[in-house]
Structures are given as structure tokens and as C-alpha cells.
Amino acid sequence: MAGTSSGIVAGLTAVAVGTVGFLAYRAQATVPAGLGGRPTASASPSATPTKAPRDRLHPTALPGSSGTGERVVYSVDDNRVWLVDERNRVQRTFRVNPGSVDPPVGQYWVSSRSNAVTGTDGLPIEHVVRFTSVDGVVIGFSAAVGGGDAQTVADPNVKTGGIRESRVDGEAMWKFATIGVRVVVIR
């Protein structure tokens, strides 16, 4: 009987630890700006311009005024991402397909990651890199496991924050954007 009691206690402990972990994750995803330990958006509009200057001869070139140092730069107007190393060299750039909710212009930090989950559009996704939330909608980069990059929400009332990448680009993002890496969102 003693073995049965210890098994029950171990099972209840495992459930309790899992529940606390899940609740902590959900709470972290909804922390108001300024309370999460790191700023989620630039307090000054001058820190990140409304529309970063572009090189007309090289449209895939890193936009000026996108910051310095290691960072992910995401242009909501161009639907493009740049992975930039600590020496300000672009390691990779690629196009993305945004969800229905865009993050505001500003600076963020990668706050959580998941290797594989189901997206709000119901598709299995991988290499999920989250950096903010807007009105309860979590915003982050991901790749559809089936290789598709389109948001396929059947219900138009479902808001999605997934910024979809190809699987190859998603793997590059996964390797580059670890917890704490800066994400700069520009127009």
C-alpha cells in the first residue's frame, strides 16, 4: 500500500508542476508592457523611425536606422526579416507571410520558443520564436510543418500573430533567435 501512496503523490506532484509551468507561460505571454523585466517596445518614436530608409538599388539590403548589434529585424511593410550578427552583418534575409495582427514598431526580445505546436490557424507549426503579444494575441515567427506559409484561418474572427517563414528560414531563425535576442520591428 505504501508503494501505491507514493505513486499517487508522485503523480499529483507531476500534475501540479506541469500546471504551474503552463500558468507561468500563459501569464508571461500577457504581461503588460514595462512589467516583464525588459522593455517590450521603444518608449521613444525617434529610437525606431516610422519608416526606415531603404536602399532603392538593393531592396533586400538591411534598412538604415534598424539598430546595431545582434538582432532580428522585421519589416511589417516589406514582409521581410534580416538576421543580423553582433558585427552588424546580415547573416540571412527572407520574406515572410504575416498573420492578421502586426506587432507595433519598436524593440522586443525573444521571450519564449517552442519546437513544435499547433498554430492558432490549426496547422502544425515548428521552430516557434515568440517576442510579444497584442491584445492577447501572441506574436512570433514560425514555419508550417507541411511546408506551407499561408495563414489558413477558416474563421475570419480568429486573430493570428504567427509570422510564417519557410521551413528552411524557420530553422535559421530557430538557431539564431534564442531567448533574449533582440527583435526590432520597423515599418
- Say if residue 9's pLDDT is above 70: no
- Tell which wins on pLDDT, 6 or 164: 164
Ranges 49-63, 105-119, 125-139: which has the least confidence: 49-63
- Residue identified by cell 507561468 is 24
pLDDT above 70 coverage of the chain, percent: 64
Q: What's the mean pLDDT in 134-163? A: 82
d(CA 112, CA 46): 28
Contacts of 185 (CB under 8 A, 6+ apart): 48, 74, 76, 103, 104, 105, 106, 107, 108
Ranges 85-89, 151-155, 160-164: which has the least confidence: 151-155
Q: What's the mean pLDDT in 15-41? A: 42
Q: Which three cell numbers stand for residue 169?
A: 528560414
pLDDT above 90 coverage of the chain, percent: 57
- Coil, helix or strand for 2? helix
- Say if residue 37's pLDDT is above 50: no
pLDDT band at residue 171 under the 50/70/90 scheme: very high
CB atoms within 10 A of CB 60: 13
- Tell which wins on pLDDT, 163 or 121: 163
d(CA 88, CA 67): 9
